[in-house]
Amino acid sequence: MLSRTADHLYWMARLTERAENLARLLDVTHQMSLVPQSVAAENQNWGAILALNSLEEAFAKAYDEVNAENVLRFMVADAANPSSIYSCLRGARENAHAVRGTLTAETWESCNATWIELREQKFEQILSAGIGEFFDWVKLRSAVTRGVTFGTMLQDEALHFIRLGGLLERGDNTARILDVKYHVLGTTGEEGTTDFYQWGALLRSLSAFEVYRKVYRDVITPARVAELLMLRADMPRSLHACADGIVRALEHISNDHSAETDRRAGMLHAQLHYARIDDVLAHGLHEYLTDFMESIYALGEGISRDFLLPDA
């Protein structure tokens, strides 16, 4: 496969997944903002989203104050912000258009229809209709595009590059959401008790609430939330599941130059496969997640070097 084609497929998937995961992060922050708290604490939570995406400086150039409406406008609909949902879905559509002949008609139509529907919505309309409904729409459109892609495309290299891009982005964003929310949520009230609503919101943001109840059949605890979202191989959005899928995708596209990237992916998968949550928490969850995100970044650079455009 031509590296240019692989590059467009890879980034089409990454940007679609990025838009979905940004919607998930904003949604859980919005839900948590409904819990009684000080204005300063609420604004700090919104500011954490900017810090997590290294966007503090860009935000400060366009907005005077960090608050819910400004951060939502910046991260949802600001065309000048390359990390906004608007920019991600626009970029996904542009990449899909560049390789339209490689995609099935259903995949192209889903990606194109998502962009057309989004560009017709103004931010004020999104707010008035309910920001939660918009986030649900983004997640649904991502799921539809992913579904028709895996349900209609030939299982060749093109599909493996799409899968690879989506899994890298998903793993990175699951780690980011867990990192930014885990320490914000701490225990409340009596020692050992947690705020069920807020932990439930975090799990729902990663489509993990029902899975948690099925796996643990008990009250929600921070350690189990971390275990589910990090180490469970059968949880679709967990770090372990993403690393497993990355290794499998790389097996199908490996070439003479990708041995080091394959090795890095295998090491990351092994670390998650054999890890125990007690050890992770004892050594520091934030440190573990930071190492994971750095590994994902290094994998992305390796994939670009080995398979994609030199300047990708």
Q: What is the DSSP string of 1-26?
A: --HHHHHHHHHHHHHHHHHHHHHHHH
What distance lies between CA 89 and its chain's CA centroid?
14
78-82, 164-168, 204-208, 243-247: range with lowest mean pLDDT: 204-208
Please determine, for residue 161, whether its predicted confidence score (pLDDT) is greater than 70: yes
Average pLDDT estimate for 22-36: 86
Of 224, 225, 232, 167, the residue nearest 201 (C-alpha)? 225
Type of residue found at 99: V
Please determine, for residue 62, whether its predicted confidence score (pLDDT) is greater than 60: yes
User: Model confidence over 74-119: pLDDT tens digits?
Assistant: 999 999 999 999 999 999 999 999 999 999 999 999 999 999 999 9
Compute the mean pLDDT over every residue in the chain, rounded to the nearest whole number: 90
Residue 103 has what DSSP assignment?
S
127 three-state secondary structure: helix
The pLDDT score that the predictor gives to residue 187 is 41
The pLDDT score that the predictor gives to residue 23 is 94
Higher pLDDT, 45 or 13: 13
The pLDDT score that the predictor gives to residue 191 is 38
What is the rounded CA–CA span in Å between residue 99 and residue 224?
A: 42
Q: Report the sign of the C-alpha dihedral through residues 180, 182, 185, 191, in that order.
A: negative
Per-residue pLDDT band for 31 (boundaries 50, 70, 90) equals confident
Of 123, 99, 121, 122, the residue nearest 111 (C-alpha)? 99
Residue 209 has what DSSP assignment?
H
Average pLDDT estimate for 10-38: 90
The pLDDT score that the predictor gives to residue 186 is 56
Of 72, 115, 73, 83, the residue nearest 18 (C-alpha)? 83
The pLDDT score that the predictor gives to residue 201 is 82
The pLDDT score that the predictor gives to residue 185 is 66
Domain residue spans of the chain: 1-153, 154-312
The pLDDT score that the predictor gives to residue 190 is 41
The pLDDT score that the predictor gives to residue 192 is 41
Please determine, for residue 1, whether its predicted confidence score (pLDDT) is greater than 90: no
User: Model confidence over 180-203: pLDDT tens digits?
Assistant: 777 666 544 443 444 677 788 889
The pLDDT score that the predictor gives to residue 312 is 39
User: Model confidence over 236-272: pLDDT tens digits?
Assistant: 999 999 999 999 999 999 988 899 999 999 999 999 9
Please determine, for residue 57, whether its predicted confidence score (pLDDT) is greater than 50: yes
Higher pLDDT, 309 or 64: 64
